[in-house]
């Protein structure tokens, strides 16, 4: 990276939106990770395209992240550019005609609630937090997103990995996904074209960047929606180690098994490396409970996979994204 590169980046993104040698421990929920040479918060899709173009022309690596809630960054940091979408591109649009149709004073409201007339179209930017979107939907009495209200990530990241919980997943609510590729080409992908699977989507396969999502929700009752959100969030607090930094579920669920149970049955509850351990409260979580490092996280993950494979013949695939030099 040279002075000319930095000048181009600042011109494209705005000086106030560019940070240098920024510790990634401040941008991941693990609270670990060394400095990124450059961290940019773009204001819109055009800025993302321009930043990517500048990086490509200068042969500089770049990474797209949301809130960093599913991310492990090397302690050596990132010798490249981080493009962070959290707290930007977070607008929500409730389409007026759709809302009017859904809330019309129909003679048979019970019939209306199970008919297509109650489907409300909602568009949201990729940078919005799932919790914020869930609150906006609750305020308009729209149901179907309660499962996501406690997931600590952005909409773009959730779409990319088809995040889910408590019987729901992003694939259930998506109508269309807007994305761009590394050449700046724009995509409009239907639910079917997204090829959603367990913690998987076309976005991963094609290395695309989600910019906006169209979703559809049914009209419900405020108190019922709120009660379900409270129930799910209560279960999270009861069963998950939310008091410590983590990246949520560390491993994907192996087919026919549950990662947390395999880890518990392998006798690994509480297994520790440095300041990081397998949570005794929920063995599917690796937590940073004592100022641990990314290297500590990796050591725990590696040991857990080795022991589980030795005992049960099952490899555990990381659910978290791992970037940087190791």
pLDDT tens-digit map of 67-84 = 999 999 999 999 999 999
Q: What is the DSSP string of 138-180?
A: HHTTEES-GGGTT--SBHHHHHHHT-EETTEEGGGTEEEEEEE
Measured distance CA(114)–CA(117) in Å, rounded: 8
Q: Residue 319 has what pLDDT?
A: 95
Segment among 92-96, 164-168, 183-187 with least mean pLDDT: 92-96
Domains of the chain plus CATH, in order, are 3-84 (3.30.43.10), 92-228 (3.30.465.10), 243-323 (3.90.78.10)
Measured distance CA(100)–CA(102) in Å, rounded: 5
Scan for tokens 């930007």, then name that residue: 88
Q: Residue 325 has what pLDDT?
A: 85
319 flagged as catalytic: yes
Average pLDDT (276-304) is 98
Are residues 142 and 136 in contact, defined by beta-carbon separation less than 8 angstroms? Answer: no
Scan for tokens 């240098």, then name that residue: 20
Q: Residue 257 has what pLDDT?
A: 96
15 flagged as catalytic: no
Kindly name the residue from 22, 141, 218, 319 that is annotated as catalytic. Answer: 319
Q: How confident is the model at residue 48 (pLDDT cuts 50, 70, 90)?
A: very high
Tell me how far CA of residue 48 lies from CA of 59, 76, 179, 222, 267, in angstroms: 16, 25, 11, 37, 46
Radius of gyration for the alpha carbons in the chain, expressed in angstroms and rounded? 21
Give yes or no for residue 139 having a pLDDT over 50: yes
Measured distance CA(134)–CA(129) in Å, rounded: 9
53 flagged as catalytic: no
Q: Residue 112 has what pLDDT?
A: 46
Please report which residue ranges of the chain form alpha helices under DSSP H: 3-13, 45-57, 96-102, 109-113, 130-139, 155-161, 202-206, 222-239, 259-265, 294-312
Segment among 117-126, 136-145, 290-299 with least mean pLDDT: 117-126
Q: Residue 99 has what pLDDT?
A: 57
Greater model confidence, 282 or 118 = 282
Kindly name the residue from 140, 199, 236, 253 that is annotated as catalytic. Answer: 199
Q: How confident is the model at residue 27 (pLDDT cuts 50, 70, 90)?
A: very high
Q: How confident is the model at residue 109 (pLDDT cuts 50, 70, 90)?
A: very low
Per DSSP bridges, beta strands 92-94 and 120-125 are antiparallel
Q: What are the tens digits of pLDDT across the range 203-220?
A: 999 999 999 999 999 999
Kindly name the residue from 249, 253, 279, 294 that is annotated as catalytic. Answer: 249
Q: How confident is the model at residue 111 (pLDDT cuts 50, 70, 90)?
A: very low
């Amino acid at each position: 990276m040279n002075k000319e590169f930095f000048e181009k980046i600042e011109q494209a993104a705005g000086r106030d939106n560019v940070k240098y040698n920024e510790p990634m421990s401040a941008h991941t929920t693990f609270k670990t990770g060394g400095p990124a040479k450059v961290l940019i918060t773009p204001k819109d899709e055009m800025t993302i395209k321009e930043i990517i173009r500048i990086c490509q022309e200068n042969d500089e690596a770049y990474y797209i992240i949301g809130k960093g809630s599913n991310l492990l960054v090397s302690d050596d940091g990132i010798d490249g550019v981080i493009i962070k979408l959290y707290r930007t591109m977070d607008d929500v649009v409730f389409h007026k005609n759709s809302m009017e149709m859904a809330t019309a004073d129909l003679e048979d409201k019970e019939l209306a609630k199970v008919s297509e007339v109650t489907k409300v179209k909602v568009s949201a930017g990729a940078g919005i937090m799932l919790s914020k979107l869930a609150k906006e939907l609750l305020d308009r009495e729209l149901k179907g997103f309660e499962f996501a209200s406690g997931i600590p990530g952005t909409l773009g990241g959730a779409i990319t990995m088809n995040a889910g919980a408590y019987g729901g997943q992003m694939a259930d609510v998506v109508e269309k996904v807007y994305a761009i590729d590394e050449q700046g080409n724009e995509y409009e992908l239907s639910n079917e074209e997204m090829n959603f699977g367990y913690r998987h989507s076309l976005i991963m396969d094609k290395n695309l960047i989600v910019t906006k999502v169209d979703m559809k929700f049914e009209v419900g009752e405020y108190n019922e929606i709120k009660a379900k959100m409270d129930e799910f969030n209560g279960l999270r607090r009861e069963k998950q180690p939310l008091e410590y930094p983590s990246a949520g579920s560390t491993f994907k669920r192996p087919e026919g098994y549950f990662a947390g149970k395999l880890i518990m049955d392998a006798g690994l509850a509480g297994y520790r490396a440095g300041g990081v351990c397998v949570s005794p409260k929920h063995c599917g979580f690796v937590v940073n409970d004592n100022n641990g490092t990314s290297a500590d996280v990796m050591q725990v993950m590696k040991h857990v996979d080795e022991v589980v494979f030795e005992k049960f013949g099952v490899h555990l695939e990381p659910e978290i994204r791992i970037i940087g030099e190791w």
